[in-house]
Amino acid sequence: MSNKIFIITVFIGNIAFGGVLPKTDLQGTIHTKSTHSFRAKVSKKLFEHGLDKKIAKTNVDNALLHDDALNELMTKNILKNIPLLKDEDILNFVTHSALRKRTVDLSSYATLVSLVQKHTAAFMDKELISQIEQTSIENEKLKSMKVFV
């Protein structure tokens, strides 16, 4: 009998005092921007070249075809597979493309060949062409996958 009274008391207490608990305000959540994302780095470079921040961001948004997570993965894949390139080379390539309002697809074979030719003085031998082709194929596969961040 005392078990039933205890359970009823707890049940009624939960109903009565449930409205007193503080509610979390989901609208008040602050989302911070990542200043280390690839898009942010390119925007910063464009700003350093003299463009307004809003115009630089718009140019970068129009230049890069994919979202931040996918661009980051593709960039890391390029750096891993083509050791001649550095992060700064890719950043400069995308910056100049955004400045000239050209689109950049980091999975495109033609884009990767152009990137390598602009930023390395190496001769395009079979091994380098094979590395570029393999990187392009891997980045195409990344495009087809869903990236959840």
Residue 28 belongs to a domain? no
Q: How confident is the model at residue 135 (pLDDT cuts 50, 70, 90)?
A: very high
3-state DSSP percent of the chain in helix, strand and coil, to 5? 70, 0, 30
At residue 144, the pLDDT reads 81
Residue 30 lies in a domain: no
User: Region 122-146: what's the mean pLDDT?
Assistant: 87
Average pLDDT, the chain: 82
Name the more confident of 25 and 85. Answer: 85
Range of the domain at 47: 38-146
List, in sequence order, every residue forming a beta bridge with 64; answer none if it has no partner: 104
What is the tally of structural domains in the chain? Answer: 1
136 occurs within a structural domain: yes
pLDDT for position 8? 80
pTM of the full predicted structure?
0.70
Check the CA dihedral 16-21-26-27 and report its sign. positive
Is the pLDDT assigned to residue 101 strictly greater than 60? Answer: yes
- The answer to whether residue 33 sits within a structural domain is no
> What pLDDT, on the 0 to 100 scale, is given for residue 13?
73
21, pLDDT greater than 80: no
Q: Tens of pLDDT along 78-99?
A: 999 998 999 999 999 999 999 9
For residue 68, being part of any structural domain is answered with: yes
- Answer yes or no: is 92 within a domain: yes
19 is a domain residue: no
The crossing angle, in degrees rounded to 10, of helices 68-81 and 126-144 is 160
In a domain, 113, yes or no: yes
Higher pLDDT, residue 78 or 119: 78
